[in-house]
Amino acid sequence: MTERIVLAYSGGLDTSVAIGWIGEATGAEVIAVAVDVGQGGESLETIRQRALGCGAVEAYVADASDEFANEYCMPTLKANALYQGHYPLVSAISRPVIVKHLVKAAREFGATTVAHGCTGKGNDQVRFEVGIQTLGPDLKCIAPVRDLALTRDKAIAFAEEKGLPIETTKKNPYSIDQNVWGRAVETGYLEDIWNAPTKDIYDYTATPEFPPAPDEVTISFEAGVPVAIDGVRVTPLQAIKELNRRAGAQGVGRIDVVEDRLVGIKSREIYEAPGAMALITAHKHLEDITVEREQARFKATVGQRWAELVYDGQWFSPLKRSLDAFIEDTQKHVTGDIRMVLHGGQAIVNGRRSETSLYDFDLATYDTGDTFDQSMARGFIELWGMSAKVASGRDIRVAGK
C-alpha cells in the first residue's frame, strides 16, 4: 500500500504546492486537512476542491469554529492568558485544535506521517510536532519548507509549471495568521522594529484616532464564560464575534510587541484581538470582585505560567492539564455582569455586579453605617509587622558591635 501523508492545508500557495512537492519528494499520497477556526475568507468547500485540484487524493475539512471557541478560547479567557503580558495567544491556541484534526484524519485515512507548512525559525513547528507526538506518538512529522527545501520562489515556479488552480503572483510581504480570537501579522517592513505599522496591515480594527461615538456594552458571565451581551444570550463563539465587531470598530485590541520566541529569537509581531482583549478585560474585573485575595494572587502566577506553556506548544502537557484544574476551580463564582465603554482604542470598565461578589458595601464605606471595627487595626498592624520589627532590632544590635 502506498504511504499516505496528511498535510495541514490552508488553501494558499505554499500548502497547495506542498501537495505535489511532498508527493514528488516522498512518493506518498497526500491527504489535505483544512480546519476552520473562524479565520473567515473562502468556504471549506472551495478549499476542499482546490486541494483535490492540486493533487490531494482526499480532502478532510472541518468546521471547528465552535469547538475552538468553547474548548480553546474559553480556557484562555479563564486564565486571563497574555504571553509576556501582551499577547493573547492568537495563533498558539489554534494549533492544538488543528493538531487534533490532523491526527484524527491520519487515523481515518491510514496515514503514517503528518506534514505542516512551518519554517525552522518559528514557534508553530514546535506546537504542531509536540502536539502530534503527544496525540499520535507513532506518527512521523515533516515540514516541506524546513525539510524539503520548498521556498516561495520554488513554490511559484512549481505552481506555474504544473498549472495548479492557485494564485501565483507575489502578494504583500507580510505573514498573516488569523482566527476568531485574533489576527497576527509579521515580517516584511515590520522586521525593522523602528518602523511604525502602516494602516494597511490592519483588518479586524478601525483606526482609533477618529472613533465613532462611545459604545457601552454589558457582558454577562457564568462561571467565567460569557453568556450574554446586553442581555441577549450568546454562545462563546457569538460573544467573541460580537465583540470583534464592536470593539474592533473602536480600534480596541491593537498590539505591537517584540516577543521572545521559543527558539530563542526575538520577533516583532503585530496583533489585532478586539474581542479577546475586551473579554479578558471584562473577565479580570469580574474576578476582582468574586475571587478571594490570596487565590487571585496565586492565579495571576498560574495564568502567566499557563500562557508560557501554551505559547511553547505544551497544550497537551501534564502540567498544563494540572493548571487547568486549578484555574477551573477559581471560576466557580465568577458570575455576574460587567459594563464597559469601548472608545478610541480602549475598553474601560465602569460598572460591575454579581450575586457572588465578595465586595461588602457596609465594610467598604467610610460613611455612616460602616460595620468595620477599626479598633482591630492596631493589633493587626503590630502582629503583621512583628517579624520585620524583630529582624530590624537584630540588625541594629549586630551593627553596633
pLDDT in tens, 115-148: 998 888 889 999 999 999 999 999 999 998 888 8
195 is a domain residue? yes
Are 272 and 135 within one domain? no
Asked whether residue 202 is marked as a ligand-binding residue, the answer is no
Q: Check: CB of residue 31 under 8 Å from CB of residue 55.
A: no
CATH number at residue 65: 3.40.50.620
Asked whether residue 105 is marked as a ligand-binding residue, the answer is no
280 is a domain residue? yes
Active site residue 124: yes
127 is a domain residue? yes
Q: Residues 48, 91, 94, 124: which is the catalytic one?
A: 124
SS (H, E, C) 151-186: CHHHHHHHHHHHCCCCCCCCCCCCEEEEECCEEEEE
Asked whether residue 354 is marked as a ligand-binding residue, the answer is no
Are 186 and 150 within one domain? no
272 is a domain residue? yes
Are 165 and 186 within one domain? no
pLDDT tens-place string over residues 204-241? 999 999 999 999 999 999 999 999 999 999 999 999 99
328 is a domain residue? no
Q: What is the mean pLDDT of the chain?
A: 94
Sign of CA dihedral 52, 7, 154, 26: negative
Predicted confidence pLDDT, tens digits, the chain (401 residues): 799 999 999 988 889 999 999 999 999 999 999 999 999 888 999 999 999 999 999 999 999 999 999 999 999 999 999 999 999 999 999 999 999 999 999 999 999 999 998 888 889 999 999 999 999 999 999 998 888 888 878 888 888 888 888 876 666 568 889 999 999 998 888 999 999 999 999 999 999 999 999 999 999 999 999 999 999 999 999 999 999 999 999 999 999 999 999 989 999 999 999 999 999 999 999 999 999 999 999 999 999 999 999 999 999 999 999 999 999 999 999 999 999 999 999 999 999 999 999 998 888 888 877 888 888 999 999 999 999 999 999 999 999 87
Asked whether residue 43 is marked as a ligand-binding residue, the answer is no
Provide the phi-psi class of 199: left if phi over 0, else alpha when psi is between -120 and 50, else beta: alpha
Residue 309 three-state SS:
helix
Are 55 and 154 within one domain? yes
339 is a domain residue? yes
Report the alpha-carbon distance of residue 134 to residue 190 in Å, rounded. 34
For residue 143, give its domain range: 4-171
Q: Which of 146, 171, 196 is the last residue of a domain?
A: 171
Look up residue 203 and give its DSSP letter. Answer: S
Are 203 and 167 within one domain? no
Closest CA relative to residue 28, chosen from 99, 88, 111: 111
Q: Residues 14, 36, 91, 312: which is the catalytic one?
A: 14
317 is a domain residue? no
Are 233 and 378 within one domain? no
Are 37 and 124 within one domain? yes
Report the alpha-carbon distance of residue 372 to residue 180 in Å, rounded. 47
Report the alpha-carbon distance of residue 169 to residue 167 in Å, rounded. 6
Report the alpha-carbon distance of residue 349 to residue 334 in Å, rounded. 16
pTM for the full model? 0.93
Are 10 and 138 within one domain? yes
How many percent of the chain have pLDDT more than 90?
Answer: 81
Asked whether residue 55 is marked as a ligand-binding residue, the answer is no
CATH number at residue 342: 3.90.1260.10
Domain total in the chain? 3
pLDDT tens-place string over residues 7-35? 999 988 889 999 999 999 999 999 999 99
Q: Residues 48, 95, 183, 246: which is the catalytic one?
A: 95
Are 201 and 239 within one domain? yes
Residue 216: count of CB within 10 angstroms of its CB: 14
Angle among Cα 222, 224, 230 to the nearest 5 degrees reads: 55
Asked whether residue 127 is marked as a ligand-binding residue, the answer is yes
Report the alpha-carbon distance of residue 312 to residue 303 in Å, rounded. 14
Are 268 and 192 within one domain? yes
362 is a domain residue? no
Are 62 and 139 within one domain? yes
Are 251 and 269 within one domain? yes
